[in-house]
Structure 1
């Protein structure tokens, strides 16, 4: 069963953001602002990429979608970061309707019309190194549901919110159903909708949804530019520094190294 992960790296789509901009040019200027891009690169290097690099089941595709307007020096930096991860494919697309562009990108790497598993990660999120293996095993267990349903949601909803910085990692444990970092979609053969066709919080109203709440499987990055944190009335998240035991848990679970975090974020 094919497994595809999607990561949008500052792609300037039309729609797909909770932050509104007056024009596409304003959105591109916001996404490519030097301070914001530097933060995204550091989160991606310290959180997202280590978890993808260390997957125990290496049979998957991780598709990174960027804008064709991403400045060349930033595209070169991204390519350098992922060059040792054979599962990664980078696609550059012009601005377009967000869900349509993502659907076309995902379907361009689908391998025939067999059943497919799809997940999405923001460029500051991570998954456990067992995620692909656990996802594939869970899909085999519930595959019979595809006889009656076009798609099924598989929700690994335990993990952490975490913020990296020059002093290491601050974090808090969470159990949050239907958060994107631990959520996947299983598709019946021949169905060409994608994980990006559904609002993650509404999947439980659209299809059978099976929860796996026992193991730490997801990690949600917390930073100054979280799209979901820009609106009014957003509750603050209380994070505390990881101790030595917590740092070891992050290394074992997500392949996230607090010493590497400190080095990267100490660069100013």
Structure 2
């Protein structure tokens, strides 16, 4: 069988799911107030427009779809801003759903982006305040093509990375840390399955992916920038080695792998 692998990214852009949040309670109205607070959304857009979206637009392999999952009740001013921002991204698709259980919502969103002629789907995850290196999609495609015949085309295959940077935003000045995770990080993590299989990368806690699936993560490439700030839903800590580096040292590496100048990140 000739494998035709489709790559689909999924971003939950302040989607008010039932479950899926660490800090949210069970009251849907309280959750909506928190997610749709104008000051919070302005902060999210600031990171998305300066960090996350540019990293997607700069991908050397543009043959992927990117689903942006939002709530149907997201106020028009924010929905329009998001639609305008992602318009230059060729594979962008805005999906608006009512509040659903978290995993059901992401399953529906992925399914709405699948191509009819694909035999396999590689679905990856990305938050709206993080960035991928410019060759992330190309490397993902090559890795899956190399490993799928070995692991078996009918079995789930998880691929990702565990080397990158944490960017800590601080009033007194941003700091940068180089990290090498010892467990799979969710940022850019992907699962490949035959098309039509409902299981996807959100099914299990990403830290424990290798307990459930054949898992390969790249330790060589600086593959991500994760931001650490007051709006993080989960506790943003590295599960492995973390080392503070100065901007002069980190700058050339960042600028070689990401579409950013170090000075921009320093002032972000």
Q: Same fold (TM over 0.5)?
A: yes
- 1:186-212 deviations in whole A, cap 9, x for unaligned? 113442322222221221111111121
- Secondary structure in 1 matching 2:94: strand
Residues 89-128 of structure 1, C-alpha deviations (whole Å, 9 max, x = no match): 1111111111101111101111135111111011111111
Q: State the match for 1:137 in structure 2.
A: 142
Q: Does 1:74 align with 2:78?
A: yes
Aligned to 1:58: 62
> How do residues 104-183 of structure 1 correspond to structure 2 at under 5 angstroms?
104-112=108-116, 113-147=118-152, 149-163=154-168, 169-176=174-181, 177-183=183-189
Aligned equivalents of 1:136 and 1:27: distance in 2? 37
In structure 1, the residue matched to 2:20 is 16
Describe the shift of the 1:252–1:164 C-alpha distance in structure 2 as closer, same or farther (beyond 3 A). farther
Q: Tell me how far 1:39 sits from its aligned partner.
A: 1.1
Call closer, same or farther: CA 1:28–1:226 in 2, change over 3 Å: same
CA contact (8 A) 1:169 1:241 kept: no
Q: Does residue 205 of structure 1 match 2:211?
A: yes
Indicate yes or no: 2:233 matched with 1:227: yes
Comparing 214-223 and 240-249, the one that deviates more:
240-249
Q: CA deviation at 1:22?
A: 4.1
Deviation of 1:240 (Å): 5.8
Q: What's the offset of the Cα at 1:141?
A: 0.8
**Is 1:247 paired with 2:255?**
no
> Alignment length, in residue pairs?
261
- Per-residue CA deviation, residues 168-196 of structure 1 (Å, 9 max, x unaligned), is 75210111131111421111344232222
- The 2-side partners of 1:14 and 1:57 are apart by 34
Q: TM-score, normalised by structure 2?
A: 0.87
The residue that corresponds to 1:86 in the other structure is 90
Which residue does 1:185 correspond to in 2? 191
RMSD of the TM alignment (CA)? 2.7
User: Is the 2:179–2:243 contact (alpha carbons within 8 Å) kept by the matching residues of 1?
Assistant: no
TM-score, L = length of structure 1:
0.87
More displaced 10-residue stretch of structure 1: 116-125 or 146-155:
146-155
Deviations 1:34-74 (A, max 9, x none): 22111111111121111100000010001111111111111
- Partner Cα distance (2:76, 2:243) in 1: 36
Q: Which residue of 2 aligns with 1:31?
A: 35
Higher percent of residues as helix: 1
2:105 maps to what in 1?
Answer: 101
The 1:167/1:86 distance shift into structure 2, 3 A limit, reads: farther
Q: 1:139 aligns to what SS in structure 2?
A: helix
User: Unaligned regions of 5+ residues in structure 2, if any?
Assistant: none
- Stretches of structure 1 lacking an aligned partner (at least 5 in a row): none
